[in-house]
Structure 1
């Protein structure tokens, strides 16, 4: 996985949420705390396996399948919204 944030996206952290908008403030939306955590790990250049491992340490290895599904859905959604590009 080699994702980067689209240059036209502006994001900032507000407590445990991340707020994402375009340059002209269009499509303003907030990420919930778990999505914010995934977003933060991706922009920190963590690779896919590292992201899964870190989330499993925090939320429990018995939740690994759920975590993998959540991370995959998040990445797919962010690609559709053109927040991430490969």
Structure 2
């Protein structure tokens, strides 16, 4: 595959698009429009966050029972027959 990148770049730079002269104004107008819509978006996100907190608080409520911890055993069963307890039984 033989492709001359320099020739392709020259073709791109030779063709001037007629709309390139007005692109700066269009970009700046779009930035100004996005600034005003960003303020609206931030307030909507804040309202959604407050709504989520209120909804979560209402659904959790005070009916939640306190957590109780289970005793910690290595294999889930009581260790009465563990080797360490069997060795100490003679003493």
Q: Same fold judged by TM-score > 0.5?
A: no
Q: Say which one has the larger Rg.
A: 2
TM-score (norm: length of structure 2): 0.23
TM-score, normalised by the number of residues in structure 1: 0.24
Normalized per residue, which structure has more strand?
1
Q: Which has the higher helix share?
A: 2
Q: Report 1 or 2 for greater relative contact order, CA contacts < 8 Å, sequence distance ≥ 6.
A: 1
